[in-house]
Structure 1
Amino acid sequence: MSFEVFEKLEAKVQQAIDTITLLQMEIEELKEKNNSLVREVESSASGRESLVNENVQLKQEQQAWQERLRLLLGKMDEV
């Protein structure tokens, strides 16, 4: 009778070990996926920053052109 109890206990311990091993593998996969997503977010943030800088530069250029156009229109009005 006690041999059967030990066999059942051994089976449960083995099942627990298998479950723990699978969970550890899942954790590793999730860590890798998380790291990949973190890199993707960082890349997106960098790209966004670049676009914001380009937008600022283009707005400054637009303002400069508008000012030149105003000056030219002002000169045309004087003539």
Structure 2
Amino acid sequence: MSFDVLEKLEAKIQTAVDTISLLQMEVDELKEQNGKLDDENQQLRQQHQAWQDRLQALLGKIDQVEESA
């Protein structure tokens, strides 16, 4: 192999390493964003459950009033 071929190979390897590093950083960033979305989703599910519980309680009170009447 000539020196020129080795230089080209080294350049391609360096480009591949740089690309892999950038992609890994992007993956880490996306994982962080996903974690934040998971947290937000969990909070919304808890709020949804709380509203459902309150609604069920109100419907139960309406049923009690109707039965008393």
Matches within 5 A, 1:1-79: 2-68=2-68, 70=69
Distance 2:19 2:55 in 1: 53
* Root mean square deviation of aligned Cα: 1.2
Distance 1:54 1:34 in 2: 30
Deviation at 1:63, TM superposition (A): 1.3
Rg larger in structure = 1
Deviation at 1:58, TM superposition (A): 0.4
Distance 1:50 1:42 in 2: 12
Deviation at 1:32, TM superposition (A): 0.5
Distance 1:66 1:25 in 2: 61
Q: TM-score, normalised by structure 1?
A: 0.81
Q: TM-score, normalised by structure 2?
A: 0.91
Could you report, residue by residue, the CA deviation over 1:21-77 in whole angstroms, capped at 9, with x for unpaired residues? 011011001101110111111111101110110011000111122233x2xxxxxxx
Structure 1 residue ranges without an equivalent (≥5): 71-79
How many percent of aligned residue pairs carry the same amino acid? 42
Structure 2 residue ranges without an equivalent (≥5): none
Q: How many residues are paired up?
A: 69
